[in-house]
Amino acid sequence: MTEWREFDDDVASAPSSADIAALTSLAADLEALDYTVDGVGALLGAQAYAALGRGQLAPALLESRRILEGARVGAGASAGAGAGGHSAVPVLLWLLGETVAGKDLAAAFPRIGVAGLERLRLIECETHAPASNAGTIQETEGAAPSPQAATPTDDAAQRWRAAVELRPYGSDVGGNLWVASDLGSEQRPGPLRHDHVLGIGGASLTLAQTVMRSPVDRALDLGTGCGIQAFHLLSHARHVTATDISDRALAFARFNLLLNAPALDLDPRRLTERVSLRRGSLLEPVAGERFDLVVSNPPFVITPRTDSQNEAYTYRDGGLAGDAIVETLVRELPGVLTPGGVAQLLGNWEITEGTPWDRRIRSFVPAGVDAWIIQREQLSPVQYAETWLRDAAEHRDRGAYLDSFGDYLADFALRSVEGIGFGWVWLRRPLDARNLVRVTLEEITHEIEQPVGPHLAAAVRRNDWLAAHTEQAASGIGIADEFLLVADDVTEERHQRPGAEHPGVILLRQGAGLRRTTLLSTELAGFASACDGDLTAGQIAGALAMLLERPDAAFTSELLVDVEQLIREGFLIPAP
């Protein structure tokens, strides 16, 4: 078994979580400032807040400066009046990358104080730096953020800038939370450091919304980063093991867990009772262990291999050629699952020239494992290179950008890659080797309902229900004796040419979940219209056979196969 130890290091370039009392004081100040998703939205106003979500900081910056100036002159009664009118201070500091005067910090954070914020390594001194230059000073990568050589004694001249981002997060599991991560290129211009710890990004939110949240005993968050998936897992798992290859990431995760301990139902002095933080690559830190649920937003980005390992970004680049990181996880994750255990992860996979999109990713799935893989997006090599070079702010240096772009295209050409897929992978270890195994791959690129996790869980239950009836079909039972209903969110559309006696196209549409649309034959439309729970599937099929003068057994059998697909996709559901 691989040796591991509980991670509790104090990493100099990450926030400090050593002082529990200081974290409690910080949380109290943040609450008093209403530094929450709703609070920031109300402070900035709808338009500025929406612009901030798009990465446009200017409207929020102008409004925050106006509010803070009003507080200084005693005119902030209407906006930002809570907490002495200094509610704009954390927004300016941690969301917008502005420098803030020490006297404003002291007024906004009376419990933790400026010195406490500095001890927690959330701020750093910027002597005599004008606010308009916030974020232009770069520290040496890997070194601890440190104050300038001399801290001025004049509070009016002393200014502070964010050492990290501290962002409010509106969680459906813990209410108002705060998440610390590294500053992005919007707040601190320039390329990201290569051990950058990503905050709440689109991929992490996607995974959180996708996970099926059934109660489990032990869960694994593989590649925890700042710990966002662990937050969610704690709502339905007795114990969470969170791993990462980066010491900095684990330090951020520990800080975030302890800062939000009350909301996450954690005892900060006995964190290991519910959370284990471990350093290591992929499954090495949990060798020999088994989990009921594994979630992972792994470093799946396909990046050209270079001679210098320092050129990789640990939060996104797995260090393996092509899509090998996703292949490795899909092949090996079932080995750490308990019988009936589930793994859910995000990933990229390569699509080679002239082959279907699903051929390669299908080949990763080991025998005897249930799998459901949904491709949500497909990019060309050019689009892919553009996306990830911009992600790390590498497009700012024209020469380096062209070199990196060429490396991407050459790397994909080496393997004849014509597309890169992105999507969700669900894997399950069957309870018993005798269980029927199902592998489903599909492409769903349209907008869906979020969070989609409950709908995915319902789909799995329907598939299990169908699998049980498939096993019974040999004895002549199957779904024929079951009562079915049309799902509540399903509507029917009929299209026909003007003057036509019958519709030429009949569609069923889902208004919720995966929002599928399916084309119906006339007989299948007739079947669906009769699914009100009064007749069994077999009785409805028999009545249609008589009506259409198709009394042969083949008609009924083929119709019920199509009905099973409608159940599988959620258009029809078993009656309670």
Kindly give the pairing relationship between strand 123-125 and strand 159-162.
antiparallel
Residue 110 located in a structural domain: yes
389 token code pair = 């070079």
88 token code pair = 């704009």
What CA–CA distances, in Å, run from 48 to 55, 64, 307, 503? 11, 10, 44, 49
Residues 387 and 501 in one domain: no
- Which 8-state DSSP code applies to residue 300? B
Residues 307 and 428 in one domain: yes
Q: CA–CA separation, 380 vs 302, rounded Å?
A: 13
The residues, ordered by sequence, that sit 6+ positions from 69 with a Cβ below 8 Å of its Cβ are none
77 token code pair = 């009664």
Q: CA–CA separation, 496 vs 504, rounded Å?
A: 5
150 token code pair = 């001399």
Q: Which of 440, 470, 444 is nearest to 564 (CA)?
A: 470
Residue 317 located in a structural domain: no
Residues 391 and 498 in one domain: no
Residue 438 located in a structural domain: yes
Residue 319 located in a structural domain: no
Residues 439 and 478 in one domain: no
Residues 517 and 409 in one domain: no
The low-confidence residues of the chain, meaning pLDDT below 50, are 1, 75-82, 128-153, 155-156, 308-310
Residues 393 and 504 in one domain: no
Residues 437 and 519 in one domain: no
User: What angle is formed at CA 509 by the lines to CA 508 and CA 511, rounded to 5 degrees?
Assistant: 150
Residue 316 located in a structural domain: no
3-state secondary structure of 351: strand
Q: What is the pLDDT of residue 63?
A: 95
Q: CA–CA separation, 562 vs 220, rounded Å?
A: 38
CATH number at residue 539: 3.90.930
Amino acid letter at 49? Y
3-state SS string for 455-484: HHHHHHHHHHHHHHHHHHHCCCCCCCCCEE
Strand partners for 124: 161
Q: CA–CA separation, 131 vs 229, rounded Å?
A: 35
Q: Which of 377, 372, 369, 370 is nearest to 348 (CA)?
A: 377
Q: What is the pLDDT of residue 170?
A: 86
Q: What is the pLDDT of residue 7?
A: 86
Residue 255 located in a structural domain: no
Write down the residue that tokens 């349209």 correspond to.
Answer: 446
E strands, 172-285, are 175-181, 216-222, 237-244, 275-279
Residue 536 located in a structural domain: yes
Q: Which of 492, 473, 462, 469 is nearest to 569 (CA)?
A: 462
Residues 422 and 482 in one domain: no
Q: CA–CA separation, 397 vs 326, rounded Å?
A: 30
E strands, 81-174, are 100-101, 123-125, 159-162, 165-171
Residues 475 and 376 in one domain: no
Model pTM? 0.89
Query: Count of residues for the chain?
Result: 576
Residues 307 and 426 in one domain: yes
HSE value, Cβ hemisphere, 13 Å, CA-based, for 10: 7
Count how many domains the chain has: 3
Q: CA–CA separation, 63 vs 44, rounded Å?
A: 6
Phi, then psi, of 415 in degrees rounded to 5: -110, 15
HSE value, Cβ hemisphere, 13 Å, CA-based, for 94: 25
Residues 520 and 427 in one domain: no
Q: Which of 73, 84, 124, 82 is nearest to 100 (CA)?
A: 124
Amino acid letter at 48? A
Q: Please give the helix or strand (H or E) that residue 291 lies within, else none.
A: strand 291-296
Residue 566 located in a structural domain: yes
Could you tell me the residue range of the domain that residue 495 belongs to? 463-574
Amino acid letter at 306? T
Residues 402 and 483 in one domain: no
Q: What is the pLDDT of residue 131?
A: 40
Angle, helices 398-414/381-391, rounded to nearest 10 degrees = 140
